[in-house]
Structure 1
Amino acid sequence: MVTLLFLYLYAHFHYCAGQAESSDLTIPEEAVGRPQHPLPIHDGILDEETRNLCFCNYEGDICDANNTCIKHSHAACFHFMKEVYNSELRRMETIHQYGCATLEKGSSASHLTCNSFRSPHRTPKSIACCYEGNYCNLNITPPPYRQLPKEAENYDDEWLESKLHPMFHVVVPFAIALFAIAIAATWCILKKRRSDFKKWLPLAKKKQELLPTPELDPMMYDDSGSGSGSGNATMVQRTVANDLIIEKIIGKGRYGEVRIARFRGSLVAVKTFYTTEEDSWKNEREIYETQMLNHENILQFVAADIFSMDSLTQMILVTDYHPLGSLYDYLQKEQALTTQEALQLAYSSICGIEHLHASVLGTGSRRKPQIAHRDIKSKNIIVKRPGVCCIADFGLAVRL
């Protein structure tokens, strides 16, 4: 059936190009057993019951049980012949196929299918047709193949290889090499993932112990307040460390280092604690998690996370970044402060401390307890902008 479809498409191409043959050329002159009547017979010359019967040897439902197919009265019976390589015998064999040709659309016969023998094929093949029915295709033999090698009867491996596309010898080794590379890459990836998992498992257990509740893994907080003190840090299930782009170190202290980083397009300050200061990181994180802590003069908390980098555990706190730095650094500048600005800086610092010390009651069970900073100094006060300060560094703070 596939062969018939190929022959039909090939012949249809020539037909569309204006190369259709006349009906009297349907049966090749070289065909052995050329029937007497080249065109369909409709004048009672043949028996009505047998004139549309063709011999058929296709498998499946194409042929009847007695190797017969019934053609259209205007269509043809065909005898198709091709050469197929027998890998067991290592030589070419001739295959004969018989059947009923289709009635071509816009035609009164099967011209295109039956004329396909006129063009040479890459695989040796030929076809002959007859319209008389009555199993006429058993008595007709297709003409010789077009443009066959001179040693047509002695096909061997060398002839077969000469017909293969030259790129075959390049494509097959290349495909095998790609397949081998893909297998090796997959093996390396799986091995690395297993190694990473072994490193991550102890860290995950440790992180679970540090978090006070299951809902805080991983921790990320998004301040939904307006600075009035009524807001609260809201958790979002996402690992913060993956979104941080560290830029440079801007300070060091007894607990760790402070770096500038980019977090979702904004500049933030990332405080990284030394592994020996785990208690300090945990305490400061808990202070920042206190309900109703948000205030204009309290450093705005963004997120907290714990992760592994270069086989070392990293504990971080992410806060807003203020380029003016600490009050200590701000006062070291050559430009002297005016009395008004000095009073504003002092006032804003006192407001932040007062908010820490105050107990704020909210609706329901919401309550901000009193908090003692216990480490107030100019290095732990951040200048947000000229005249405005905020309190930072709650490593020693306690809730009362």
Structure 2
Amino acid sequence: MAPKSRKKKAHAKTLTCYCNVCPEESVDNEKCETRPGGSCFASVRGIYNSTTNEYDVEYEYGCMPPEQSGGLLQCRGSLYLAGQNIKCCDSGEFCNQNMELEFQAPSTTPSPSDTQQIDQFSYNQLALLLSLGVCAILFLIIVLVVLVTYRRRETKRKQVCLLESGHSSHLSPLNDLFEQSSGSGSGLPLLVQRTIAKQIQLEKSVGRGRYGEVWLAKWREEPVAVKVFFTTEEASWFRETEIYQTVLMRHENILGFIAADISGTGSYTRMFLITDYHENGSLHDYLQMHVISPRSLQELAHSLTAGLAHLHMEIFSKPGKPAISHRDIKSRNILVKRNGQCAIADFGLAVKYNSELDEIHIAPNTRVGTRRYMAPEVLDESLNPTQFESFKLADIYSVGLVFWEMARRCVTTIPGTKSTACEDYALPYHDMVPSDPSFEDMYDVVCTQKIRPPIPERWQDEEILQVLSKIMVECWHPKPTARLTALRIKKSLSKIQTDGSGHIV
């Protein structure tokens, strides 16, 4: 082996090669000479351009070092080395100049068959996950519906069981029944209402009007009021029941509704409306029997407008409450609660308004309200029934007259003395029209003569009476659009402060 090696070294020669990347010692810029045993090479490589997302191809020609220096090892390696295709030659001068080189870009993407398999796998995974997700959501919805339905049925079942149970010690009071109801604010379930109505025990008559008669009654030893309608007032019963069962109707200054029922034979029908019972009776009766302090006057007036503001207000929610106009505000239709606040009652003439549909629901009722409290635009028939605001402003006129009734019974101290003064109770226009005035009587006073109830001078000596006097004048203004809103009146009255003795401060 040694002689052979020495022979090869003896015949080692240099080559002249074509170069475009020539060494510094090269004399000519297009050729170079190899060292003994070296070779010529040609290479092609691609440099990735991230801007164009393609490879820029570069060709290189030059001299390769001898094998002892590691040069030929590159030529004997893989066809591609780090993205570079290299070919070497030692067959003669400039043997590398016309070598054919082909660049193939390295690829990290899988073959088409692999890609299809991966895409199909990903699609199947995604479809499976989506299916599982939809199934889970549907399952949760079904569970929630079942739970809600079960809970409501259990609540109703417990209510009926409590009502039908003979053990009074296990009975829930009416307030508990309302707390157990659906929470929509539209009253108790109909089955519970009918069960209560069958268990009512009438005790004594406490009032009578053109619609029927009001009785004090007992349900499981709890006092309730029962309005028994005349057979001719079926429309009023239907309307009042509908209004009371309106969603979100319940309010501390609106008479609390408990139940309604209708029963009878083909020739005789009884219609009941069961509500909270207030022993003080109507505001009309209360003012005849009592004088009131400035503090009490403020409480009565403020609570009345709070109830009316809630009635007039439309609540936008799911479910929501329509705006409602009472259309028969008077002192007989307002009850006085034990805490000294008012509760508005009698909704047989009420009007509902849905702003989304722009619909006014006027009940087919022959009653037209109370003439003494009718606004000028009602008396002269100029009220626009297609505009719901017209009904609300007519309510405000009536409220102004009720304020006048309250204010007359408010006691004030005569300046410079220790004596007190107040007027006797009287109805609005008591000294100008008969006890049961006709349309013509009221039209002549209110519309033709434009008379309004007088305001005594003593009312200027007490702040609440001063404020209420100004409110009254704006409430009964002949031009409806100049009147205040219930919410504005409520805010004005809530600003008045009183001291511990009941005097305004």
TM-score, scaled to structure 1: 0.42
More helix by share: 2
With normalisation by structure 2, the TM-score equals: 0.33
Relative contact order higher in (CA < 8 Å, ≥ 6 apart): 1
| Higher strand proportion (structure 1 or 2) | 1
